[in-house]
Structure 1
Amino acid sequence: MTKRFHQGDRVRWNSHGGEAVGEVLKEITSDTEAAGRTVRASRDEPQYLVRSDKSGGEAVHKPEALEKL
């Protein structure tokens, strides 16, 4: 079963500079443009737009890449 996150959830993930911590901004459930790239997503395979606390940058991750804090 796919992990589900909600807007405002605090999460951590691995980034190029090590571990990042931030907030879920949005669940993406259809193909769209986000964080500067094309995101392939569906209701069965969502992705999540997150914002880093440290850099303020936004990224999109699959649920298996995120850990709820």
Structure 2
Amino acid sequence: MADELKKGDHVTWQSHGNTTEGTVERKITSDTEASGRTVRASKDEPQYEVKSDKSGRTAVHKPSALDKD
């Protein structure tokens, strides 16, 4: 589990049964729009917007879904 990630950190996560690699774009600590959806987040329960190295697309994940390289 990756609790304290910061912009630029390289991470991996599971996507559709495959391991995806990418970079943390930002930490989200309040409800906002990101990656085409409404993200529910707070300072106590942040989420991270990550950009895939392969596709260049962004996704939002909870810290427990990300592994820091």
Scaled by the length of structure 1, the TM-score of the pair is 0.95
Q: Which residue in the other structure is 1:43 paired with?
A: 43
Give how far 1:4 is off: 1.5
Structure 1 stretches lacking a partner, 5+ long: none
Runs of 4+ in 1 over 3 A off after TM superposition: none
Alignment of 1:2-17 (within 5 A): 3-16=3-16
Give how far 1:17 is off: 5.4
**Equivalent pairs: percent with the same residue?**
62
Q: How far apart in 2 are the matches of 1:31 and 1:10?
A: 24
Q: Which residue in the other structure is 1:64 paired with?
A: 64
> Cα RMSD over matched residues?
1.2
Q: How far apart in 2 are the matches of 1:49 and 1:17?
A: 19
Q: Which residue in the other structure is 1:32 paired with?
A: 32
Structure 2 stretches lacking a partner, 5+ long: none
Q: How far apart in 2 are the matches of 1:24 and 1:59?
A: 10
Scaled by the length of structure 2, the TM-score of the pair is 0.95
Give how far 1:16 is off: 1.5
* Residue deviations 1:22-47 (CA, integer Å, cap 9, x gap): 00000000000000000000000000
